[in-house]
Structures are given as structure tokens and as C-alpha cells.
Amino acid sequence: MLCLTGLPLIFSAEIDDLLDPPPAAPVAARAMAAHVDETVRQAYHAWPGQRVRLAVFDADSARVVLHLSPHADDDFDRMHELAFDARTGALLRDGAPAGDAVMDTILQLHVRLFAGLPGELFLGVMGLVFVAAIVSGVALYAPFMRRLRFGDIRWRRSGRLRWLDLHNFLGIVTACWVLIVALTGFMNTLATPLFGLWQIRDVAPVLRPFAHDAPVIPATPLSAAMRAAEEAVPGMTTRFVTFPSHRNGSPDHYVVWTQGRSKLLSRFMTPVLVDATSGRIMFVGKMPWYLRFLEICRPLHFGDYGGLGLKCLWGVLDLATMVVLGSGLYLLLSRPRHPARLPDAGAHGLLEEEAA
């Protein structure tokens, strides 16, 4: 299930661009704020009485996406989105793009099994079990294949032996990649509790004085808040901004999430709290080491930090892993039923055929 759902997620950006073509070529990250205040005005004009909750900036697709809801503290599933051309501020669409619900369903299945935090933690346990299976398979490979040259497939023997050789060959070739994906996937399942720990230890004390305030309507333009945040963290650019709210933010502040400008640092996020009334910097969040490590694991897991070439490699390895898993299941279910010989069969029940 994880391999099947992970395959389209590797190419999620390309699928998004296919379903919702970008209006123009990529723009410089610094140019994203040029028309952002105009987009906010257009959003309020199109949906009077609603509140902008989130602004997302995608320099690669030259889009600014605003999310609105009737109230500042509504659940996120009540929000709808408007997409604007970052170059001109023109409205591109009102509503989610076609196919967005399908990709979101695949992501929720892959990450949480539609079960929230318990689903994430269950998948984390499965990740550790998978790591144990990989390590044990590598340990068995050397003695099991000592009579064969590396990569030999006995095509003229029984179908079961052919699948056994293919299983062993693909398994050892992909072992390093699968181990990386399993370990980074395990780390990703800890994202919710790790971010929660950081919020409790570092963020909650800063926001406690504002906890009982009603969410303000920002007086500071969004572009000014973005400039102030980027000046506070040199070398970073704005990725998204949450508007005043009690949900994942502050009722009195913008939370400007910045990212590194280089490809290497583009996954390193730093939040900056900007007063929505005065525009002053109130707090710069220093991310702890465990969240930095998590930010490294995310692109490694999906292979989306090295362009389309690396994604294609990730896709091929994902398909090879499906063959390994499928052949392993076939070998398990088709093994000979000889109880007296089971002690000699080894962990995979196949040594009697190897001896033959």
C-alpha cells in the first residue's frame, strides 16, 4: 500500500502542474510579494465577510494561493482557495484544482491511513518492522547466494527458483535505498509529536500572553510583514503565511514561515512572528535539531530535492521494491509443505530448493 500510494506522491508536483497548469515560468522568490496585497484585496472583494487564513507562495509555478474561511478559527476543512498569478495579481481560479481531492486522499492514506495520529504512529511501527526485515534479508543474502555469481538468474529452472533469484537480486540491489526510505518514513511519522513538543517548549510561552485575545484584522499589509520577516532572517524567503488565528498561530500576529533560498536549504523552515497591527518583529523561532533532522528526512523520503531525474530514479526503485515484496509473498505462499524438513528450510523456507 505504501509503495502504491508513494509512487504518485513522488511526482505530485508534476501531477499538480498537469491538472492545474502554471500561468507562467518560475519567478524569482523575491518577486513573489509584488502583487500580494492586491490579491488579498481581490479575495476580500470576491468573498466579503470572510477571513484570509493562509497565503502560500510557489515561485516554481508563479502562483500565490490564498485560503479563506468564514471565521478566523474555523477548522481547516472549511477553507476554500483562490489562486492568483504572482506576476500580475490576476485571479486564476476560485476553488481547488481538479484532481486535488484525489491527491489529498492518496496523501492521507499514505501518511495516516485516514486514522489521524494513531494511523501515523502505527505506520511508524510498521516502518521499524520493515527495517528489521531489510536487515535480516541482507544478513541471509551472503550464505544463501554463496553458490551463485552476483546477479545470476536461473532461467531454466523452476518458476519458483527464477522468482527466488529475482527476489534476491532486486532485494540486495535496492536494499540501501529501501533502508533510507524506511528510516526517513519512520521519522516522518513522528512529525506531529515532534512539532507538538517544540510548540509546547518554545512557542507556547511566547504566545501565552495573547491566548485569550480575539483574532485581529491585520492593519499591516501582508507584503510589509513578509519584508520584515525576511530582513529578520537574512538568506531566507517566504514560503507561506498564516493570518491571525488561534489555530496553528497567534490571534495578534502573522506567522511568516521562511525557507532557505538555495536548493540545499529550501527545506529548512524558520517561523517569524510579525505583529499584525504594528508590523514589528515579535519572535524568531529557532528550530531544534530534531526538527531540522526531520526537515532533511522529508525530501529524502520522496526524492523531490533533485529535480525530475531523481524522481524518476525514485519511481524505478519504488517499482522494483514492489516486485521484491510481491515475489517474497509468492515465495512464502508457494513454499513446499514438508513439516519434517522445516528446520532445514531457513528463514524464507527455500534452502531445500537451493540445495537441490
Do residues 51 and 68 touch, judged by C-beta distance below 8 A?
yes
Alpha carbon distance 208, 201 (integer Å): 12
- Cα 208 from chain centroid? 30
pLDDT tens sequence across 104-144: 999 999 999 999 999 999 999 999 999 999 999 999 888 87
* Angle CA 118–120–54, to nearest 5: 105
β 281-284/269-275 pair status = antiparallel
pLDDT tens-digit series, residues 147-160:
788 878 888 888 88
- The C-alpha atoms of residue 160 and residue 330 are separated, in whole angstroms, by 9
SS3 for 297-345 is: HHHHHHCCCCHHHHHHHHHHHHHHHHHHHHHHHHHHHCCCCCHHHHHHC
327 in a domain, yes or no?
A: yes
CB distance 302 to 268 below 8 Å: no
The burial class, CB within 10 Å (0-12 / 13-18 / 19+), for 119 is middle
Is residue 326 included in any domain, yes or no?
A: yes
Name residue 84's beta-bridge partners: 64, 91
Residue 261 domain-assigned (yes or no) = no
pLDDT tens digits for range 27-64? 877 778 889 999 999 999 999 999 999 999 998 888 99
What is the C-alpha separation between 301 and 303, in angstroms, rounded?
A: 6
Q: How confident is the model at residue 344 (pLDDT cuts 50, 70, 90)?
A: very low
The C-alpha cell that represents 123 in the structure block: 505506520
Distance, in Å, from the CA atom of 210 to the CA atom of 216, rounded to the nearest integer, reads: 11
The Cα–Cα gap between 102 and 20 comes to: 13
Residue 326 CB partners (closer than 8 Å, separation 6+): none
Q: How many helices (H) and strands (E) does the chain have?
A: 13, 8
- 311 located within any domain: yes
Q: What is the DSSP string of 203-222?
A: IHHHHGGGTTSPPPPP-S-H
Instruction: Give me the domain span that covers residue 179.
Output: 115-189+306-355
What SS3 class is residue 64? strand
In a domain, 228, yes or no: no
355 has a pLDDT exceeding 60: no
The neighbour count for residue 156, using CB atoms within 10 Å, is: 7
Q: Is residue 102 part of a domain?
A: no
C-alpha cell at 239: 514560503
Q: Alpha-carbon distance 306 to 291, whole Å? A: 21
Quick check: is 322 in a domain? yes
Type of residue found at 316:
V
* pLDDT of amino acid 285: 92
- Residue 232 in this model has a pLDDT that exceeds 60: yes
Number of domains in the chain: 1
Whether residue 136 is contained in a domain is answered as yes
Q: Of the candidates 30, 2, 4, 5, which has an alpha carbon nearest to the alpha carbon of residue 230? A: 30
Whole-structure pTM value = 0.84
Q: What is the pLDDT of residues 176-208, one digit of tens each?
A: 999 999 999 999 999 999 999 999 999 999 999
